[in-house]
Amino acid sequence: MSAARRSSAAPAAAPDRIARAFATARERGEAALVTYVMGGDPDLVTSLEMALACVRGGADLLEIGVPFSDPIADGPTIQRAAERSLAAGTTVAQCLALAAAVRERSQTPIALMGYVNPMLAYGEERFLDDCAKAGVDALIVPDLPPEEAGRFGDLARARGVALVFLLAPTSTPARRAAACAAARGFLYYVSVAGVTGARKALPADLAPRLAAIRAESPVPVVIGFGISTPAQAKALAPLADGLVVGSAIVNRIAEPGSRKARAERVERYVRSLKRATRRR
């Protein structure tokens, strides 16, 4: 955690921050923990507090959601978070400012997760310039598969921002190879055919699928969609370089309570997950 809170004397180039976070976790015998908070949910100040609570709880990577009106890859939990955020008037520019505010206080790598249309509306190059300025290390854009990402990916790379590709249980070996060849930062393996959201059970063939991808991938592979309990995190930690927890955190933010109470709740929960990522 001390590494995460190191002051920002010399900002590292983006892939370095990501690579270092995974390396540090690996040296400690842990899977990296990636935590998701929707930007502006329910307001910007709260989401900043929640992101910092994740850092205090031991998150190795932060995902900050950029809200979109029509989030086709998300389940009800994150869709409602986006609705709350948009109802509060959150803009793309504010999400970038939120990332910058987190960056001022922490060197934990930041990935923005959002849909492509708001990024296009902001202006591709302007958006990527501002990501670099804000200290954003990576972008996760679930509706931008490699086929459509060529120019956007190139522009991002030129600015030191990694465009993260997703792989799914349905991905063919050819698509897996293409994603591995184009991979920057890390690869995001979607654990189930489905949308985001906490699930009781994960598929039985997860281990061999992840092993195959990790054998091929030049970058760390994280697993996401459906992880909500420390027990799941413990079971999955040996299988992947990192674990993503989203909806379960969003649910804890949505529960009633003061900002301070929510922050403590989130920090405590993230700490319990982080403990469970130890592989020993």
Partner 1 sequence: MARPDAAGHFGPYGGRYVPETLVPALDELTAAWEEARRDPVFQAELQELLTRYAGRPTPLGEARRMSAEVGGCRVLLKREDLCHTGAHKVNNTLGQVLLARRMGKKRIIAETGAGQHGVATATAAALFGLPCDVYMGALDVERQALNVFRMQLLGARVVPVEAGSRTLKDAMNEAIRDWVTNVGDTHYIIGSVAGPHPYPALVRDLQRVIGDEARRQVQEHAGRLPDAVVACVGGGSNAMGIFTAFVGDPAVKLVGVEAAGHGLSTGRHGAALAKGRPGVLHGSKSYLLQDADGQIAEAHSISAGLDYPGVGPELSFLKDQGRLTLMQATDDEALDALQYLARTEGIIPALESAHAVAAARKVARKLGSGGLVIVNVSGRGDKDVEQVRRALAERAAVPGPRKAAGRPPRPPARRASATRTARRSK
Does residue 35 sit in helix, strand or coil? strand
| Of 149, 151, 163, 147, nearest in space to 111 by CA | 163
For the bound state, the minimum distance from the C-beta of residue 175 to partner 1, rounded and expressed in Å, comes to 7
Q: Which of 41, 60, 74, 137 is catalytic?
A: 74
Q: Which residues bind partner 1 (CB under 8 A)?
A: 68-73, 75, 79, 83, 86, 91-92, 115-122, 142-145, 147-148, 165-172, 175, 190, 193-195
Instruction: Find out whether 68 and 82 touch, Cβ atoms under 8 Å.
Output: yes
Q: Are strands 61-65 and 32-38 parallel, antiparallel or unpaired?
A: parallel
Nearer to partner 1, 70 or 125 (CB): 70
For the bound state, the minimum distance from the C-beta of residue 179 to partner 1, rounded and expressed in Å, comes to 8
154 an active-site residue?
Answer: no
For the bound state, the minimum distance from the C-beta of residue 226 to partner 1, rounded and expressed in Å, comes to 12
Residue 216 tokens read as 């091929």
63 an active-site residue?
Answer: yes
What's at 102, amino acid-wise? V
Between CA 196 and CA 183 the distance in angstroms is 22
Q: Which of 30, 41, 63, 130 is catalytic?
A: 63
Nearer to partner 1, 14 or 167 (CB): 167
Looking at the DSSP bridge assignments, the partners of residue 256 are: none
For the bound state, the minimum distance from the C-beta of residue 187 to partner 1, rounded and expressed in Å, comes to 11
Nearer to partner 1, 22 or 127 (CB): 127
Residue 103: phi and psi, rounded to 5, are -60, -35
Q: Which residues are catalytic?
A: 63, 74
